Amino acid sequence: MVSSYVTGDWYAPANAATVLRSPVDGHELAGVSSEGIDFQAVLDHGRAVGGPNLRKHTFHERAAMLKELVAALARHKDELYELSADTGATRSDALLDIDGGMGVLASYASRALRELPNERYIVDGGPEALSRDGTFLGRHIRTPLEGVAIHINAFNFPCWGELEKFAPAFLAGMPVVVKPASQTSFVAEKVVSAIIDADVLPPGSLQMVAGSIDGLLERLTGQDYVGFTGSSQTASMLRGLESVRSRSVRFMAETDSLNSAILCLSNGNDSPEIDLFVDEIVKEITAKSGQRCTAIRRALVPESVMETVIERLQGRIGGLKVGDPRDPETDLGPLVSAHQVTEVGKAVDILRAGCELATDPVGYGLDELHPDGAYYPPTLLVAPDGDFEPVHRVEPFGPVTTLVPYLDTMDAIEITSRGGGSLVASVYSEDPDLARDLVLGLAPYHGRVLVLDTHCAQSSTGHGSPLPHLVHGGPGRAGGGEELGGVRSIFHYMQTTAIQGSPDTVNWSAE
């Protein structure tokens, strides 16, 4: 049974509400249930124990604790890698999740030490003169909210997803309750146990509930915070809860996203951009078997080179190996569950009503893999044109990309915006002026835009990787949230207050 860590203790109910099976071969992994957990006690513990304990410390002291956690988690890396294989993750997938997660903690710790004061509050900007004689001034301060941050995570990054939310909340001074996605909660449980065993955090700073949290969000107040990652349907249902709406609970959502890649040409069929574009699509189909919120779903190609791009992609995608994630030869492990295979299949069926299939699903030897595994073939589709509506609506959350022909820059921007707001777009162009036009057109619809050319391709961190330094989020369908992005994400967990008074009253040190 996956245990929860609540009110300072581990807890596992006797009966499982959900039984988890390995996507590798269908063997039973664990049961999950939150039956018997008193959610009011969880919230009370965070508010009465975690919050005060955390707020005794300065930003620098909390940053030092995060650094210690990185070292503690590193000692459990092998166990985390092994557990991750039963989420379908290959070694390189697990690297993104586990090493990536530790990297986010380390990055936040360093930035907090560099950019935040060794204080418990932040003075934001200088004084504002509010009277002619200078006797009445105003300025802003930021203080941590006094409630609990509830972090609801998606199944695809049980370690990174947990840590990238935890770091800014902890630094701000807010205790966290993590609710991992059930399917991969056994990895999240290991991450929490490694953190708790390190004995670094002030008591009450971190709790975890495995399984349902029905009834918890109903108890939130305006001092609490919800950080959600998952589907837009769940986000919109939770955002609409009476408690969340009527008490103005802060609600940050990262949801699904139909990210785009846009190929530009500097030399027709010989354009170097084509190889960069093809490489990136193959990487995005392969990493986590396409189960990344940032994966390329719509790849926009000038009609004149469509045949060339299809041929090059067929060559590369056809050579990918699908199989057991523990086999070092495997490029793509299984999807996270049999349910996800069904969901991706349904999405692909909708897309195939108007798109051509450019890859051969039987070419990957899936029949030879374990029949109870959750394997899905890499899939390349070609849309007839940018007017094919489902490609801008349906998200196949697996190794699936659709090529979409486009005419010119305006057309590319217009087609991309039909996704209703996305996390990331990438532009493949050797021409900085053209790239700038595209960036300006894409920016209102995206949280991040990568421009890839031959100068930066070698050092690029890639289309699909959110970074702690840069904003991760997107408008509209992508949830309207903004995670990561350096210390600005710490401010989400703080209240900004304008203080007014005489020079002596508002003369707070900015350091």
Q: Which residues are catalytic?
A: 254, 293
Q: Give the 3-state secondary structure of residue 479.
A: coil
- Answer yes or no whether residue 289 interacts with ligand NAP by CB under 6 A: no
Rg (the chain; Cα; Å) = 24
- Distance separating alpha carbons of residues 460 and 94, to the nearest angstrom: 20
423 binds ligand NAP (CB under 6 A): yes
The binder of ligand NAP chosen from 33, 90, 107, 156 (CB under 6 A): 156
Asked if 298 touches ligand NAP (CB under 6 A), the answer is no
Task: Indicate whether 234 belongs to the interface with ligand NAP (CB under 6 A).
Answer: yes
Nearest-approach distance from CB 295 to ligand NAP, in angstroms: 9
- The span from the CA of 220 to the CA of 243, in Å, is 7
Is there binding between residue 97 and ligand NAP (CB under 6 A)?
no
Q: Any idea what DSSP says for residue 2?
A: P
332 in Cβ contact with 289 (< 8 Å): yes
The 3-class SS string of 235-265 reads HHHHHCCHHHHHCCCEEEEECCCCEEEEECC
Angle at CA of residue 130, ends 124 and 132, nearest 5°: 140
Site stretch for ligand NAP (CB under 6 A), options 19-27, 104-112, 175-183, 354-362 = 175-183
**Minimum CB distance to ligand NAP, residue 255 (Å):** 5
| 453 scored as a contact of ligand NAP (CB under 6 A) | no
Choosing from 37, 196, 293, 471, the residue that interacts with ligand NAP (CB under 6 A) is: 293
CB of 234 to ligand NAP, least distance (A): 3
Burial of 271 (C-beta count, 10 Å sphere; 0-12/13-18/19+): buried
Choice between 224 and 254, CB closer to ligand NAP: 254
Does position 230 bind ligand NAP by CB under 6 A? yes
For residues 214 and 511, which CB has a smaller minimum distance to ligand NAP in the complex? Answer: 214
Q: Which of 33, 182, 402, 416 binds ligand NAP (CB under 6 A)?
A: 182
Among positions 49, 112, 154, 296, the unique one binding ligand NAP when judged by CB under 6 A:
154
Q: Does residue 229 touch ligand NAP according to CB under 6 A? A: yes
Query: Which residues, in sequence order, are CB contacts of 271 under 8 Å at separation 6+?
Result: 264, 265, 305, 430
| Closest to ligand NAP by CB, 65 or 423 | 423
- Three-state DSSP state, 278: helix
Q: How far is CA 135 from CA 126, 132, 139, 166, 500, in A?
A: 15, 8, 14, 42, 11
Residues touching ligand NAP: how many (CB under 6 A)? 24
- Answer yes or no whether residue 224 interacts with ligand NAP by CB under 6 A: no
Tokens of 49: 């124990």
Nearest CB to ligand NAP, comparing residues 152 and 425: 152
50 or 419, CB closer to ligand NAP?
419
CA angle 407, 411, 413 (to 5 degrees): 135
Q: Which range binds ligand NAP by CB under 6 A, 35-43, 139-147, 229-237, 263-271?
A: 229-237
Give phi and psi for 319, each to the nearest 5: -90, 0
Nearest to 468 by CA among 492, 449, 489: 489
Residue ranges in 345-404 that form contacts with ligand NAP under rule CB under 6 A: 395, 397
Asked whether the beta carbons of 55 and 41 are under 8 A apart, the reply is no
Q: Which of residues 462-481 bind ligand NAP (CB under 6 A)?
A: 479
Beta carbon of residue 386, minimum distance to ligand NAP (angstroms, whole number): 22
């392969």: which residue's tokens? Answer: 286
Angle at 369 between CA 367 and CA 374, to 5 degrees: 100
CB nearer ligand NAP, residue 100 or residue 323: 100
In this complex, which beta carbon is closest to ligand NAP, that of residue 149 or of residue 213? 213
**In the complex, least distance from residue 396 CB atom to ligand NAP, rounded to whole angstroms:** 10
Nearer to ligand NAP, 39 or 81 (CB): 39
Dihedral (C-alpha) 462, 100, 481, 399: value to the nearest 10 degrees? Answer: 60
Name the E strands within 200-355. Answer: 206-208, 225-229, 250-254, 259-263, 296-302
Site string for ligand NAP, 237-276 (x = CB under 6 A): -x---------------xxxx-------------------
By beta-carbon proximity to ligand NAP, the closer residue of 323 and 479 is: 479
3-state secondary structure (DSSP) of residue 484: strand
**Which of residues 153, 286, 416, 417 is near ligand NAP by CB under 6 A?**
153
Query: Per CB under 6 A, which region of 109-117, 149-157, 356-364, 412-420 contacts ligand NAP?
Result: 149-157
Binding site for ligand NAP (CB under 6 A): 152-156, 179, 181-183, 213, 229-231, 234, 238, 254-257, 293, 395, 397, 423, 479
